[in-house]
Structure 1
Amino acid sequence: MARAPVRSSQAKVVSNILEKHGYQLGQYLGKGAYAIVWEAYFKKWRTNVAVKVLMKDKAEAEFLSKFLPREIQVWKGLKHPNLINFYQSIETTNRVYIMLELAPGGEVMDKIRMKGACDERTAGKWFEQLCQGMAYIHSKGVVHRDLKLENLLLDQHDNIKISDFGFCKFAATDVKNLKQVQLSETYCGSYAYVPPEVLQGIPYNPFLSDVWSMGVILFTLRTGKLPFDDSNLRRLLKQMIKGPIFTQKHASISLECKDLVRGTLASDVHRYSLHTIFDHPWMLPLVRERPPYLRDMDALYLRPHLRRSTQRLMTIRHTDGGTRSTANLVSSTRLVHPEALRSPSPPPSPPAHRPPLHARPPLQRSWGGREEGGRAESERERERGRGLAKDGRRRE
C-alpha cells in the first residue's frame, strides 16, 4: 500500500509512532469528538487495518479512566465473524492508538442513504448476521447499548461487522450461568434507537434494550427511514408507545417481517428475546447456523421487575393526536436525560419538506457515525435547549 501524503504535524507524529510498531500510515478515514481514524498497513501481517487515535488532551478524565479501559477490555475479548476485530492498543503520553479490523465496505447507513430501502433478501441477510453477532455478545454477558446503522460496517463481501463498543459493559452478574441481569441506569445511546424505558429514566434491562435497537434497524432496512421521529422527545416517546406504523407504501414488506418488527419494538414486558427472534417464521429460512447457546440465555431477557414501569408509560398511549413526520436518517450518540421529558417544551414547528433519502447529499461523517456539521450542529443546539450535555458524550 502506498503511503498517503503527510499533511500535518499531528499526522507526522502518528506516522512516527506507527512506524515503530510496524505500521505504515495510510489515508485519513474520519474523526470523532476525541479521535481521528486512519487506514494503515501492518507489515507483519501484510494487511490493512483501521487505526483509531484518541487525543488525551481532548478527552475528559472520566472517559480516559473509565469508559476507554472498559471498551478495550471488553472488545479485545470478543471474537466473532460479525464483529470488528480488536487487534492492539498502544498508549503514549498524549495519545491512545487502537488497531482494528478494517471494514472497506463502509457503513450500512451510507448504503441506505444512497440507495434507499433494502429488498427483503438483503435485509434478511444483514439482520440475520446482526442477530448472530448480538447472540454471541449477549452469550458473553456483554451488552452493546449503542446499536445503530452507523455502527454496522460492511466487509469486502458486504457482510455485517458490529463496531463501536464505547457503551458496552458486562451486564450479567453471573456470566458463567447467565442467570442474573444487572439493571442499567446509564441512559445512553441515540434517541431514535433507544427504547421508551431509557427515555423515561427507569432502571432497565440492557439486553432488552439491545433487542429494541435491533428492531429499529430492521424497520429502517426495509423502509429506508427510521420508525420514530426523534426531533421532539415527547412526541418520540408517544410514537414508541404506539409502535411502528406500516402504510400502503410498505406493501412489499412481508407480513412475517412486519410481525418481527412489532415484536422487537414492543413494550419491555412483551418484547422478543433473541431466542424468540431466531425461532420466528421470518428468520427460520435465513438462519445459517443456530447458535448453540441460545437456550441458556433466556434468563437474560426476563422482565417482571419492569412491568410497573411499562404500565406507567402506557398511561400516555392514546394522548397523541398529532401527525407523524418522516424521521431523518441522522442520529448521534449522547447521554439521555430524563429531565428533558419532564420540562416544558415549545410546540414543534411543522416539518420542512425533505427529499427521499437516496436523493439527499451524504453528510460529512466521522468514523463510528458521529457527524460533523450539517444536522449534527442543529442537534447540538436542541440538546443545549433541553439541558443536555454539550458534547453528547457518555456518562454514568
Structure 2
Amino acid sequence: TENCLGWKRGKVIGQGAFGKVRMTNGGQLIAVKQVELSINDREKAKKEYENLQREVEILKDMKHTNIVNFIGTCLEHNVVSIFMEFLTGGSIATVLKEFGPLEEEVYRRFTRQVLEGVNYLHHHSVVHRDINGNNVMLLPCGTIKLVDFGCARKIHERSNASSMRNSASGGARQYQSVKGTPFWMAPEVVTGKLYGPKSDIWSVACTVIEMATAHPPLYELGQYAAMFHIGEGRPMPVLSKHHTRHARSFVVQCLRFDPQARPTAGELLQHKFFKIR
C-alpha cells in the first residue's frame, strides 16, 4: 500500500537518532522505527512481534513532557512500523561528542528532566531498563525526552491495594533478565538478580557522570571488565571536586550497591543538587 497510518512511503527525508524520518500526507514529520520480522523462522518472528507489541503497549499509555510521544503502529507484510514524534536536535551522547563535558548548571537541568520522566514511568509501573546518553534526546529548546523503550517492561503488580503505591519504590514484582547497556548497568542487572525501578536510578547516575565527563563510568576498562567491576561491587567512580558537593552526593546516593538503599526518583527530585541557584 502507498500509505500506512497516513504517512508517505517513498523518499526518506532523513535519519534520526531514533528511526527514519518520513513525512505524513498532512506534511508532518514523524520518526518511524521499522523492524523486519523473520519470514523463515516462525518462532523467532513471533518473539520479535511480541517484544514490539510490549514496547507499543507501554509507549501508547505514556503522556509526559519528558517522554517521546507515540503516534501509532502498523504491520505491512512482515514489517512492523512504530510511529513517534520527530525529535529535532540530537541525543545527549551526540552532544557530548560534539561539545565535550557539560557545565554543572546545564547537566543539572537535564538531570532533573530525566528524573521527571523516570518518576512518571515508575509511578505508572514501568521500568525503562536502558537509560543512557544515547536514549536521552535533547530538543533545541532545551527539553529532554526519554526514548527507546525496547527494553522497557511493565511491572505486574501484586493484587493488594497498596502495591500500586509501592511500585515507584521497588515494592512491585521485579525482573531477572540482563537488559541494558553495560557501562550503565546496575549490579543486580549484571549479576542476573531480581531488579526493578531502582536499577533505573543507578543508570541515571551513570548518565550524570557521562554528561559531566563526556564518558560513562569505567569506560576505560572496556565493557566486559566494567561489568565484572560493577557485579563484584567494587567502588564506582565519583565526580571530582570540580563539581559541587551536592552533585557528588547525588551520584553517590544513586550508586549504592544495595538497590533498596538507593533513593526513588521522587526522593531524588527533592535533593539539594536541584536547589542550587
Partners of 1:238 and 1:91 lie apart in 2 by 42
Aligned pairs (5 A) from 1:218-229:
218-229=208-219
Partners of 2:271 and 2:235 lie apart in 1 by 19
Which consecutive unaligned segments of at least 5 residues does structure 1 have?
1-12, 287-396
Question: In the alignment, residue 237 of structure 1 is paired with which amino acid?
Answer: F
Aligned pairs (5 A) from 1:360-375:
none
TM-score by length of 1: 0.61
Question: In the alignment, residue 242 of structure 2 is paired with which amino acid?
Answer: S
Task: Name the CA shift for 1:97/1:243 in 2 (closer, same or farther; >3 Å).
Answer: same
- Deviation for aligned residue 1:272: 2.0
CA contact (8 A) 1:143 1:169 kept: yes
Task: Name the CA shift for 1:246/1:137 in 2 (closer, same or farther; >3 Å).
Answer: closer
- SS of the counterpart of 2:95? helix
Q: Is 1:212 equivalent to 2:226 in the alignment?
A: no
Residue 154 of structure 1 is aligned with which of 133, 138, 143?
Answer: 138
Aligned residues: 263
Task: Name the CA shift for 1:284/1:171 in 2 (closer, same or farther; >3 Å).
Answer: farther
Partners of 2:56 and 2:28 lie apart in 1 by 22
Task: Name the CA shift for 1:118/1:73 in 2 (closer, same or farther; >3 Å).
Answer: same
Residue 242 of structure 1 is aligned with which of 234, 242, 265?
Answer: 234
- SS of the counterpart of 1:209? helix
- SS of the counterpart of 1:244? coil
Q: Is 1:21 equivalent to 2:6 in the alignment?
A: yes
Partners of 2:25 and 2:76 lie apart in 1 by 21
TM-score by length of 2: 0.85
- SS of the counterpart of 1:91? strand
Task: Name the CA shift for 1:189/1:98 in 2 (closer, same or farther; >3 Å).
Answer: same
Residue 50 of structure 1 is aligned with which of 17, 22, 31?
Answer: 31
Task: Name the CA shift for 1:232/1:220 in 2 (closer, same or farther; >3 Å).
Answer: closer
CA contact (8 A) 1:193 1:216 kept: yes
Aligned pairs (5 A) from 1:77-116:
77-116=61-100
Residue 193 of structure 2 is aligned with which of 173, 189, 202?
Answer: 202
Residue 258 of structure 1 is aligned with which of 215, 236, 248?
Answer: 248
- Deviation for aligned residue 1:23: 3.2
Higher-Rg member (1/2): 1
Structure 1: which 4+ aligned runs deviate by more than 6 Å?
Answer: none
CA contact (8 A) 1:103 1:156 kept: no
Partners of 2:86 and 2:148 lie apart in 1 by 13
Partners of 2:223 and 2:132 lie apart in 1 by 19
Match of residue 22 from structure 2: 40
Partners of 1:277 and 1:96 lie apart in 2 by 37
Task: Name the CA shift for 1:234/1:40 in 2 (closer, same or farther; >3 Å).
Answer: closer
- SS of the counterpart of 1:192? helix
Q: Is 1:270 equivalent to 2:256 in the alignment?
A: no
Task: Name the CA shift for 1:28/1:126 in 2 (closer, same or farther; >3 Å).
Answer: same
- Deviation for aligned residue 1:237: 3.3
Partners of 2:156 and 2:7 lie apart in 1 by 38
